[in-house]
């Protein structure tokens, strides 16, 4: 069953989303060669707490950190460490905030210093896929419409849509119904209704769409170790249309 949120619930989630997006915006300015991913995690946790929220991810299914820092071939759930970012890397920052009883979640992929043009292109196209998925997220459409739009955009650009990972509903729990797939058929699947709040998170690979577990026990990476990119926003369906609750 998909939980339906009230206007009051969505208002609270929007406040939590502002906390989260402001932290991600600050983190983005700190991405430079020479920075450790553990320092990014410490900054994120300190700022979330200072702004009145709590980390959603820390302790969730045993995850040891506030921030997921996924480097290069790692798609999601990378654990912060003493790894030092270097020129040419890409990093996905994925974070959640719990505020007044509700979670919000977002992710962004950032180049570290100078990267190859094809790397910039997959970042641009995955971000565009998210924007197009959001545009399709309106009352009366289906989740199949959203997934189909994301899939077609990424594959048309010449990249692979990562298999086995998807977006999700969100609210009092960090993961709720429905699953928001990055593929689908137009007009198929659950209809989108007012009061639904969910995360769309396109994940693209420069190579294989297949995945495997990372050695840290939490991360998931591309099977062929090709570069991967992820973007994510929490969105709400309201009387005024689709609202992005985690807009930077």
Per-residue three-class SS string for 130-178: HHHHHHHCCCCCEHHHHHHHHHHHHHHCCCEECCCCCEEECCCCCCEEE
In a domain, 2, yes or no: no
CB 78 within 8 A of CB 216: yes
The CATH number of the domain holding residue 108 is 3.90.230.10
Tell me if 42 is assigned to some domain: yes
Distance (Å, rounded) from C-alpha 97 to C-alpha 166? Answer: 19
DSSP string across 17-74: HHHHHHHHHHHHHT--TT-BHHHHHHHHHHHHHHTT-EESSTTGGG---SEEEEETTE
CA distance linking residue 157 with residue 177, whole number of Å: 30
CB atoms within 10 A of CB 25: 11
Residue 1 lies in a domain: no
Per-residue model confidence (pLDDT) at position 182: 98
**Is 67 part of a structural domain of the chain?**
yes
pLDDT tens-digit series, residues 51-89: 999 999 999 999 999 999 999 999 999 999 999 999 999
State pLDDT tens for residues 183-212. 999 999 999 999 999 999 999 999 999 999
How confident is the prediction for the chain on average, in pLDDT? Answer: 97
Band (pLDDT 50/70/90 cuts) for residue 115 is: very high
Q: Is residue 151 part of a domain?
A: yes
The count of domains in the chain is: 1
The residue assigned the tokens 């206007």 is 7
Give dist(CA 147, CA 149) in Å, integer.
Answer: 5
**pTM tops 0.75, yes or no:** yes
pLDDT of residue 19: 98
């Amino acid at each position: 069953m998909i939980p339906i949120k009230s206007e009051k619930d969505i208002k609270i989630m929007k406040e939590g989303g502002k906390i989260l997006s402001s932290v991600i915006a600050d983190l983005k300015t700190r991405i430079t060669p020479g920075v450790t991913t553990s320092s990014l995690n410490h900054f994120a946790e300190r700022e979330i707490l200072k702004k009145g929220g709590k980390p959603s991810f820390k302790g969730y299914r045993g995850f040891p950190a506030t921030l997921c820092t996924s480097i290069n071939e790692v798609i999601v759930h990378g654990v912060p460490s003493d790894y030092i970012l270097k020129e040419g890397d890409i990093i996905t920052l994925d974070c959640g905030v719990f505020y007044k009883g509700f979670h919000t979640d977002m992710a962004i992929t950032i180049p570290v210093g100078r990267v190859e043009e094809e790397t910039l292109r997959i970042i641009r196209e995955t971000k565009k896929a998210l924007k197009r998925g959001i545009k399709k997220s309106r009352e009366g459409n289906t989740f199949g419409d959203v997934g189909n739009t994301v899939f077609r955009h990424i594959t048309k650009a010449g990249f692979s849509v990562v298999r086995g990972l998807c977006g999700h509903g969100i609210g009092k729990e960090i993961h709720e119904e429905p699953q928001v797939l990055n593929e689908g058929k137009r007009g198929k699947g659950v209809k989108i209704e007012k009061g639904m709040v969910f995360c769309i998170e396109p994940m693209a690979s420069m190579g294989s769409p297949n995945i495997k577990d990372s050695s840290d026990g939490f991360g998931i990476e591309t099977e062929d170790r090709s570069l991967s990119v992820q973007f994510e926003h929490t969105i709400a369906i309201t009387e005024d249309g689709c609202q992005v609750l985690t807009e930077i």
